[in-house]
């Protein structure tokens, strides 16, 4: 669907088009926009694309920030937890 939308957008942006289209909007289901955002990073920054995730039960829409390119699935583990796990592993290996 993204490819079709981009092709349609390109055909409407040509000077011969009767009515110009400024951008493209996509409406994936909630939680399905990650891959779409990653693919949009490969596009020219001049292409205006908006993503709105749709929640299933009440059909509400939430705008997704395409420019958010950070580590979306990252976390920090306290050093004391890491050291504790390493000590436990050393003790378990020592018992073998």
| Tens-place pLDDT, residues 9-23 | 777 666 665 666 677
Identify whether the C-beta of residue 28 lies closer than 8 Å to the C-beta of residue 51.
Answer: yes
**Sign of the C-alpha dihedral computed for residues 32, 37, 61 and 8 taken in this order:** negative
Round to whole Å and give the CA distance between 64 and 32: 11
Instruction: Give SS3 for 29.
Output: strand
What pLDDT is attached to residue 83? 93
Region 27-35: mean pLDDT is: 84
Does residue 7 have a pLDDT over 90?
no
What pLDDT is attached to residue 89? 92
What pLDDT is attached to residue 48? 83
């Amino acid at each position: 669907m993204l490819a079709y939308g981009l092709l349609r957008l390109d055909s409407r942006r040509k000077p011969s088009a009767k009515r110009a289209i400024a951008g493209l909007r996509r409406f994936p289901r909630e939680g399905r926009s990650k891959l779409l955002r990653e693919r949009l990073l490969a596009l020219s920054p001049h292409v205006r694309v908006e993503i709105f995730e749709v929640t299933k039960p009440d059909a509400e829409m939430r705008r997704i920030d395409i420019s958010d390119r950070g580590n979306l699935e990252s976390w920090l583990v306290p050093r004391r937890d890491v050291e504790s796990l390493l000590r436990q592993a050393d003790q378990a290996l020592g018992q073998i």
